[in-house]
Amino acid sequence: MSSQTVAVIGGGPGGLRAAHAITEIGGQVVLIEQREFLGGTPIAENYAGLTPSGEPAEPQIRAMIEAVTAHPAADVRLSSQVTALAGEPGAFTLTVAGADGDQTIECGSIVIATGFGHFDPGRETQMYGYYEYPDVITLPDLEAMLKTHTVVRPSNGEPPERICFIQCVGSRDRHIGNEYCSKVCCGVASKEAIEIRQLLPGSKVYIFYIDMRMYGYWENEIYWPAQEKHRVQYVKGMITEVLAKGDRLLVRGEDTTMGRPMELLMDLVVLSVGMEPSAGTRQMAGVLGVAQNRFGFIDAVGGPLDTVSTSRKGIFACGAALGPADLEDTVSSAAAAAMKAFGCVRANATATAG
């Protein structure tokens, strides 16, 4: 461990990709993860399939984990939390609290890969009854069910016949303070809708939206097949409230295409919750002293052509620690951050040798 080492904080897809990238280009890396396992949110939150491909999440993430743990140049610290930073770029000292007490790690540069958390739909102005009705669930709740190939109404264990997704829950909302679009929910909801239609062919699946944001290939890879092949019903118009009616849920909203109110009975309501900075992201910003934007994500200060530099020299960030990001964004920015961080320690080595 030395100033030639890059420290990566966070062992999810972004951190794993960054750590692996550093070993691939001949660097030394120490990967610090607060949980007792690697894999990040996809593993902790029981994701079934990756978006957009729908490939099972666990084997894919496991392969990423093994690429890091099997590499001799990678030092993985689980159940470890960074509590302090000292030193200068090129010679940082991290204090890490782990199972065996406090330790220090010397490193030349740092990559923050502490990711996001799912929006809590019980918060503030959300009135969809998430904590009131067992049959109102979130995207990750449904992911966990899809992982076991059993989609049921939590209230009675029966398979639902009518399922709807409500988009933009916790995103694009000034009241809540999350004015940004969470970017992935349109794709994830559509992917889950396809999976439900495959699992329960007799089901009717609806997606209520303000506008579908299926950028790039997600349009043709998810949205169009969901509609044309899997017969998911897309309805332009948001649900404003969910009311109990008998043992079902009455969703009420405005059909903006028709300019008319709509009321539909559902067996299962899925809230497409957005992304917020994870607790770890907020904590690390404080501990490491890097600037956050007003939403709490790490601020990328380099403008559109440098997406990974933070306000502090020698410290970089990637993935959803920077803001809403899908997996493709995350691994791309992770590799970019790894390259920057490695460049930092190399420049330092050259300077020292000279």
Comparing CB distances to other proteins, the nearer of 16 and 232 is 232
Size of the site for other proteins (CB under 8 A): 20
Comparing CB distances to other proteins, the nearer of 144 and 250 is 250
Comparing CB distances to other proteins, the nearer of 44 and 258 is 258
Question: What's the CA gap between 323 and 285, in Å, rounded?
Answer: 13
The answer to whether 6 touches 110, Cβ cutoff 8 Å, is yes
Question: What's the CA gap between 287 and 34, in Å, rounded?
Answer: 14
CB of 161 to other proteins, least distance (A): 11
Comparing CB distances to other proteins, the nearer of 22 and 264 is 264
Query: DSSP class of residue 106?
Result: E
Question: What's the CA gap between 81 and 286, in Å, rounded?
Answer: 13
Binding status of residue 97 toward other proteins by CB under 8 A: no
| Residue of 32, 196, 264, 288 that binds other proteins (CB under 8 A) | 264
Question: What's the CA gap between 9 and 199, in Å, rounded?
Answer: 38
Binding status of residue 295 toward other proteins by CB under 8 A: no
The amino acid sitting at 320 is A
- Long-range Cβ contacts of 237-241 (<8 Å, 24+ apart): 237/208, 237/209, 237/262, 238/166, 238/167, 238/168, 238/208, 238/209, 238/210, 239/128, 239/164, 239/166, 239/208, 239/269, 240/127, 241/127, 241/128
How many helices (DSSP H) and strands (DSSP E) are in the chain?
9, 18
CB of 227 to other proteins, least distance (A): 6
The answer to whether 266 touches 248, Cβ cutoff 8 Å, is yes
Binding status of residue 191 toward other proteins by CB under 8 A: no
Give the interface segment with other proteins, choosing from 62-70, 222-230, 303-311, 337-345 (CB under 8 A). 222-230
Question: What's the CA gap between 185 and 141, in Å, rounded?
Answer: 14
Tokens linked to 188: 């994830």
CB of 259 to other proteins, least distance (A): 8
Binding status of residue 199 toward other proteins by CB under 8 A: no
| Residue of 57, 107, 212, 337 that binds other proteins (CB under 8 A) | 212
CB of 255 to other proteins, least distance (A): 5
CB of 265 to other proteins, least distance (A): 8
Binding status of residue 156 toward other proteins by CB under 8 A: no
CB of 325 to other proteins, least distance (A): 25
Binding status of residue 77 toward other proteins by CB under 8 A: no
Local structure of 210: helix, strand or coil = coil
* Binding pattern for the stretch 224-263 against other proteins, x by CB under 8 A and - elsewhere: x--xx--x-xxxx------------------x-xx-xxxx
Binding status of residue 161 toward other proteins by CB under 8 A: no
CB of 236 to other proteins, least distance (A): 5
Local structure of 77: helix, strand or coil = strand
Comparing CB distances to other proteins, the nearer of 66 and 263 is 263
Residues 6+ apart with CB under 8 A from 262: 235, 237, 252, 253, 254, 255
Comparing CB distances to other proteins, the nearer of 32 and 251 is 251
Binding site for other proteins (CB under 8 A): 204, 206, 212, 223-224, 227-228, 231, 233-236, 255, 257-258, 260-264
